[in-house]
């Protein structure tokens, strides 16, 4: 009961945190500066930055849990990931609906010819199966393969960072910062994986080999 | 203020160039009165009937038929990396900048080099108030009523030597007042340049004001270039130096990314930026993108300078 309440509180916190960028955008649109002189471009920037932040937050959940030993975090990892998917989708829809106003010939041309669009779109597409298989039923059905499949988020986040680099004209301190966060989160995973493997190796030598 | 039609002008001078500030303020009245009447009002009693006849009614696509961008948008949405790389940075961060007193250096291949107080540098030149489209390389655009002097007049006074082929311009360096210059996001100082014939073109001005008011810091106070048929980054801001050269200047964006930004940087819907399309643009204040015009709609006035040039190669 106590445990459940703790997790519930944490989940509520993530919901509030996850909806904050959206609430802030709605506030800014109606009561603030209306996203300035070029609202569509500014909305795009907002959507992109929020997406990337959420993706990196999702990637950081596991390292944070392992570093702090705060194991409840594992229970909100999926929620954080879904928020990331939500904002990436919003970012995508702003492009289709507001920026291009459903001008399909321009959209297709961009998808064919512009590397930053291609790679951003690739990141979005990679997230689709993850969002679709985020239900309890699919987790059960896929078993071990679910974990493997969901590693695609590493690639998707990297796509987002490259996409960010490619739209930046000169000041790439922010995309570099994002790449740094991604790098740290990934390095920790690889280090733990290597450590786990060498430990498993030692275990394997002593135990009878089993058909995996 | 008396604004005269230039001697020897071919009659192409758009009437927008001589529309006074009072008329910018009341566009409805401007339209109601008609361009000819507005031109007549601007020319005043001195206007001869034939001079009026020379001012053709606005052609399709000239800024008279395009809405002026609001003063608020012009002064809050800028690329001026000296004050930061975000669009609202120049507006937010340019407060500490002191544009006056200002002096301008003229050097290189010319007979009248020297350092001049801004007042002396501008004194005696005819004031012009053209309305120009501004097309940013990032595919957004504005329509801006400028005030300034023709760069041509400044150059004539400097008397460049026969071997001078280019004019290079340099932005002030003041990291203490320009927060963006504290980081090497670009190579400071910002440098731009024009071929001498481009600099002498009638459209090219050194602006000192917008909407009849002095330039604000975020717009390049106290003195900036405006070359309306080129992407916005060519229109260098807060200029402290003009240098006449034989060799093509190395403009800042070209040195930053030579495959993306060239020396000429003429607005051209057919030559894409390597990363994005230049075929369309978003006019600030409008929802849908509009097609980008060759030479930003100033083909008639400038295309002759590039005749025979491969504009794909000389982007």
Distance of alpha carbon B204 from alpha carbon B159, whole angstroms? 17
In a domain, A211, yes or no: no
Partners of B205 in the β-ladder: B150, B226
Partners of B104 in the β-ladder: B116
Centre a 10 Å sphere on the Cβ of residue B3 and count the other Cβ atoms it contains: 16
For residue range A18-28, what is the model confidence (pLDDT) as tens digits?
999 999 999 99
Nearest CB among A40, A116, A169 relative to B282 is that of A40
Nearest residue in A to B141, CA atom: A38
The tokens of B2 are what? 């008396």
The CATH number fitting domain B66-306, selected from 3.90.420.10, 1.10.1240.10, 3.40.640.10, 3.30.429.10: 3.90.420.10
In a domain, A212, yes or no: no
For residue range B53-100, what is the model confidence (pLDDT) as tens digits?
333 333 334 555 789 999 999 999 999 999 999 999 999 999 999 999
Distance from CA of B81 to the nearest CA of A (A): 9
Between β-strands B103-108 and B239-245, what pairing exists: parallel, antiparallel or unpaired? parallel
Mutation to test the B interface, candidates A40, A112, A169, A177, most B Cβ within 10 Å: A169
Residue A154: closest CA among A129, A194, A189, A192: A189
- CA–chain centroid gap for B96, Å, is 24
Nearest CB among A36, A114, A116 relative to B77 is that of A36
Between β-strands B114-117 and B103-108, what pairing exists: parallel, antiparallel or unpaired? antiparallel
Distance from CA of A18 to the nearest CA of B (A): 25
Distance of alpha carbon B6 from alpha carbon A71, whole angstroms? 78
Side-chain-side CA neighbours of residue B275 (13 Å): 18
User: If pLDDT is split at 50, 70 and 90, which confidence band does B29 have?
Assistant: very low
Distance from CA of A98 to the nearest CA of B (A): 8
Distance of alpha carbon B210 from alpha carbon B72, whole angstroms? 11
Q: Give pLDDT tens digits along chain A (212 positions).
A: 566 888 999 999 999 999 999 999 999 999 999 999 999 999 999 999 999 999 999 999 999 999 999 999 999 999 999 999 999 999 999 999 999 999 999 999 999 999 999 999 999 999 999 999 999 999 999 999 999 999 999 999 999 999 999 999 888 899 999 999 999 999 999 999 999 888 776 665 555 545 44
The tokens of B239 are what? 């200029």
Domain that holds residue A143: 2-206
* Average pLDDT in chain B: 85
Kindly report the CA angle at A123 between A118 and A125, in degrees rounded to 5? Answer: 90
The tokens of A118 are what? 């291609």
CB of A177 less than 8 A from some CB of B: no
Is B185 in Cβ contact with A166 (below 8 Å)? no
Q: Name the residue ranges covered by the structural domains of chain B.
A: 12-59, 66-306
């Amino acid at each position: 009961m106590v445990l459940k309440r703790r997790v519930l509180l944490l989940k509520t916190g993530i919901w509030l945190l996850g909806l904050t960028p959206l609430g802030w955008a709605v506030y800014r649109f109606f009561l603030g500066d209306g996203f300035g002189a070029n609202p569509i471009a500014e909305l795009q920037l907002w959507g992109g930055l929020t997406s990337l932040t959420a993706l990196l937050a999702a990637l950081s959940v596991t390292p944070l849990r392992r570093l702090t030993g705060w194991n409840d975090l594992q229970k909100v990892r999926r929620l954080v990931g879904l928020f990331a998917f939500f904002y990436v989708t919003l970012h995508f829809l702003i492009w289709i609906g507001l920026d291009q106003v459903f001008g399909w010939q321009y959209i297709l041309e961009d998808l064919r010819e512009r590397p930053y669009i291609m790679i951003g779109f690739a990141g979005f597409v990679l997230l689709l199966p993850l969002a679709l298989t985020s239900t309890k039923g699919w987790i059960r059905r896929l078993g071990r393969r679910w974990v493997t499949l969901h590693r695609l988020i590493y690639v998707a986040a990297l796509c987002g960072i490259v996409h960010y680099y490619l739209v930046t004209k000169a000041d790439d301190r922010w995309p570099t910062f994002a790449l740094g966060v991604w790098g740290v989160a990934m390095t920790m995973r690889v280090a733990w994986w290597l450590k786990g493997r060498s430990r498993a190796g030692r275990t394997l030598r002593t135990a009878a080999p089993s058909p995996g | 203020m008396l604004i005269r039609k230039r001697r020897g002008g071919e009659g192409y001078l758009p009437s927008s160039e001589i529309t006074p500030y009072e008329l910018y303020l009341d566009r409805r009245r401007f339209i109601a009165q008609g361009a000819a009447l507005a031109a007549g009002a601007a020319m005043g009693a001195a206007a001869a009937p034939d001079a009026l006849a020379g001012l053709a009614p606005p052609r399709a696509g000239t800024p008279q038929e395009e809405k002026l961008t609001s003063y608020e948008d012009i002064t809050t949405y800028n690329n001026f990396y000296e004050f930061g790389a975000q669009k609202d940075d120049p507006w937010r961060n340019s407060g500490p900048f002191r544009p006056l007193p200002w002096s301008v250096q003229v050097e290189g291949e010319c007979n009248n080099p020297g350092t001049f107080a801004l007042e002396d540098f501008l004194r005696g030149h005819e004031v012009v108030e053209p309305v120009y489209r501004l097309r940013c390389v990032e595919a957004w655009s504005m329509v801006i009523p400028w005030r300034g002097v023709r760069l041509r007049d400044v150059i004539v006074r400097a008397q460049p030597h026969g071997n001078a082929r280019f004019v290079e311009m340099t932005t002030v360096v003041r990291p203490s007042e320009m927060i963006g210059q504290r980081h090497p996001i670009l190579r400071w100082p910002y440098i731009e340049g024009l071929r001498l014939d481009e600099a002498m073109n009638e459209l090219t001005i050194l602006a000192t004001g917008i909407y009849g008011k002095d330039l604000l810091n975020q717009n390049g106070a106290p003195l900036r270039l405006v070359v309306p048929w080129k992407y916005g980054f060519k229109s260098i801001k807060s200029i402290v130096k003009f240098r006449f050269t034989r060799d093509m200047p190395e403009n800042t964006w070209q040195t930053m990314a030579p495959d993306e930004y060239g020396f000429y940087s003429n607005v051209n819907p057919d030559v894409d930026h390597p990363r994005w399309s230049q075929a369309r643009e978003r006019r600030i204040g409008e929802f849908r993108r509009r097609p980008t015009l060759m030479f930003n709609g100033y083909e008639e006035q400038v295309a002759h300078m590039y005749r025979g040039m491969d504009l794909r190669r000389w982007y």
